Structure 1
Amino acid sequence: MKKRLTILDIANLSGVGKSTVSRFFNNGYVSPEAREKIQKVIDENSYAPNLFARGIKARNNKFIGIIVPCLDSNITSDILMVLDSNLREAGYIPLIINTNHNIELEKANLENLWRLNVEGIVVISTEVTEEHKDFIKRTKVPTLFVGQICSNGYSILNHEEAAGKKIGEYIGKSGRKNILYIGVDESDITVGVKRRDAVFKALSKFDVKIQEIKSDFSFETTEKLILEYLKDKRPDCIISATDNMAFGAIKAINHYGLTVPKDISIASFGGYKVSEVISPKLTTIRFYNDETGKNAAKTIIQLINGEKIPKIQKIEFDFVEGESVSKI
């Protein structure tokens, strides 16, 4: 981990006094010549002032930033609770920021956390952009992505290929022929591409017809999409990229007086606890969210300590054979 510059370091590198650097950061008077020297050092070292400087020490402050896309997701909540408790047990203080699926806000908060001088950052991510990659390269702050792969960073994600294959083969062997897949945008590489492609690849071995629509992870949007779809189409099976979207599809199915699985079978990914309570019980993939949370806490601490770890860690799953898929 690259050592952060102190005000004294900047003063020495720029050849001015420490008080001059302090005035620079506090908008006091600094001669144009001195200001230019200080700015040059800042630019060359990608220095960001520590906004916590007056309240905590600049080094070993024990703060770890956690950026999440939402707080109402079962999976995100499960991971976050375990991650938070494990970090606290290790003596760290989590700073949790919710972005409400706003990728621009996520990128802005990466910068904010860096300026707050946190020791590390965990991003429970739905998308990795070039700006994310640039942040890793530019700041060198230990950063871990959960749920997505960052090519020049460290990632923990679900074993999408194996999970998608399992669901695809199960539906193929069930004898379902006319299948609707509810996916999400390809900007989410993990769910929108890898999960979807694994399902489609497995189904390609069977004599099936597949159609696809894309939702936005929400119950409400999915319900509306399926209500429209079922006006003139009748798949005999729906595969949903998440349990939450599957619930929206089930509500739409019931709206037309149809039942699961008699009229339309349904399977999904998520393994939410409520999936076992609804009737019929949902056939789904349950990822080990607790393990993800524990590994995320352990991994970010290892990164902070400069330990060598794998670039990518994959989390396994259980296949939950519920009652929502009928076999021919």
Structure 2
Amino acid sequence: MSKKLTILDIAKFSGVGKSTVSRFFNNGYVSEEVREKIQKVIVEHGYAPNLFARGIKTKNNKFIGVIVPCFDSTTTSTILMNLDTKLREKGYIPLIINTNHNIELEKANLDNLWRLNVEGIIVLATQITPEHKNFIKRTQLPTLFVGQLCSNGYSIINNEVEAGKKIGNKILKANLKKILYIGVDEKDITVGITRREAIFKILKKSSDIELTEIKSDFSLEKTEILVDEYLKNNTPDCIISATDNMAFGAIKAIQKNKFKIPEDISVSGFGGYRISDMITPRLTTIKFNNERAGILAGESIIKLINGEDIPKIQKIDFEFLDRESIK
């Protein structure tokens, strides 16, 4: 046949019902005579059953859905690689879906994975919406959020408060007064609110500090444009970026405007990417343990699937990389 053989075709050629063929493939009872008829058709037509489709619709299928916002993020790729290793080590198969930061696509894929009957879902979340919370309540499917806090679910988050304090205290000790903070939209609770407030709480202890904030979109390119425009009429003592990627954009704008780092303007970030140790001067930043986040996510979703108790909130620690980009 030119087209791919279906179960319905096999039933027709074998002279039996479709349900009988389904029982055959799912190891149900089929008489020996009928079994031979079905096997003969399979051999003659070279039929190969779709094991993926069959397996994912059964219980204990070992499939775990993983929803990620992108593939080009250092943080996402590090978490994903360690998560994938842990799941496969335990005999589970990750089904990875990329949403390209489209929150509507993320919400839709929660339901898509649920309908596929995966055993659990891990979401590397950029924000938590009422729909996310309703999904947890409605489906009762083991679901774990990484990077954002879901009030009625299970979450793995970075220790943002202590990390923010560390950066804030570093700025205070460096006696830097005019501060530009590059943040992100508050829809991202973790970075847009929690991280920002932890830093600001420390900086506001000094009445001498002048704080200005610009909101970017996590990208190096937009941050470079915003900081370049800002530097035309302003010269801050320090630029704090909510991520390393945005810090790199700020550095490009600083160099474009002929300022020196850290002599004229100090810079700090969050992320601890490898490249932050290779630029000159090396970037002062926070390095969250993304390797541990991936491993913990894998361990935690398996425990949830097995009905074991885990903490509602698990925090990932960090390392403060005190380098040369702050005066």
Give the TM-score range, shorter chain: 0.7 to 0.9
Q: How do residues 32-181 of structure 1 correspond to structure 2 at under 5 angstroms?
A: 54-181=54-181
Q: Bigger CA drift: 235-244 or 255-264?
A: 255-264
Q: By how many angstroms is 1:54 displaced? A: 3.4
Instruction: Give me the whole-angstrom Cα distance separating, in 1, the residues matched to 2:105 and 2:172.
Output: 41
Kindly indicate whether the alpha-carbon contact (under 8 Å) linking 2:259 and 2:265 is maintained by their aligned counterparts in 1.
yes
Q: Deviations over 1:26-62 (max 9, x none)?
A: xxxxxxxxxxxxxxxxxxxxxxxxxx65354510000
The residue number in structure 1 matching 2:286 is 285
Letter in 2 for 1:251: K
The residue number in structure 2 matching 1:183 is 183
Q: Deviations over 1:175-227 (max 9, x none)?
A: 10000000001000001000000000011112211100000101111011111
SS of 2:320's partner is strand
Kindly indicate whether the alpha-carbon contact (under 8 Å) linking 2:56 and 2:116 is maintained by their aligned counterparts in 1.
no
The residue number in structure 2 matching 1:312 is 313
Unaligned 5+ segments in structure 2 are 1-18, 23-51
Q: Deviations over 1:240-277 (max 9, x none)?
A: 00000000000011111112111110011100011001
**Gap change, CA 1:273 and 1:249, over 3 Å in 2:** same
The residue number in structure 1 matching 2:217 is 216
Instruction: Give me the whole-angstrom Cα distance separating, in 1, the residues matched to 2:180 and 2:106.
Output: 32
Largest Rg, 1 or 2? 2
Instruction: Give me the whole-angstrom Cα distance separating, in 2, the residues matched to 1:225 and 1:100.
Output: 23
Instruction: Give me the whole-angstrom Cα distance separating, in 2, the residues matched to 1:54 and 1:161.
Output: 46
With the length of structure 1 as denominator, give the TM-score of the two structures: 0.83
SS of 1:95's partner is strand
> Identity, % of aligned pairs?
68
The residue number in structure 2 matching 1:15 is none
Following TM superposition, where does structure 1 have runs of at least 4 consecutive aligned residues deviating by more than 6 angstroms? none
The residue number in structure 1 matching 2:325 is 324
Kindly indicate whether the alpha-carbon contact (under 8 Å) linking 2:67 and 2:123 is maintained by their aligned counterparts in 1.
yes
Letter in 2 for 1:232: N
The residue number in structure 1 matching 2:267 is 266
With the length of structure 2 as denominator, give the TM-score of the two structures: 0.83
Paired residues in the alignment total: 279
Unaligned 5+ segments in structure 1 are 1-18, 23-51
Question: Does 1:296 find its partner at 2:306?
Answer: no
The residue number in structure 1 matching 2:6 is none
SS of 1:54's partner is helix
Instruction: Give me the whole-angstrom Cα distance separating, in 1, the residues matched to 2:234 and 2:102.
Output: 34
Q: Deviations over 1:68-118 (max 9, x none)?
A: 011111111111100011100010000111111100000011011101110
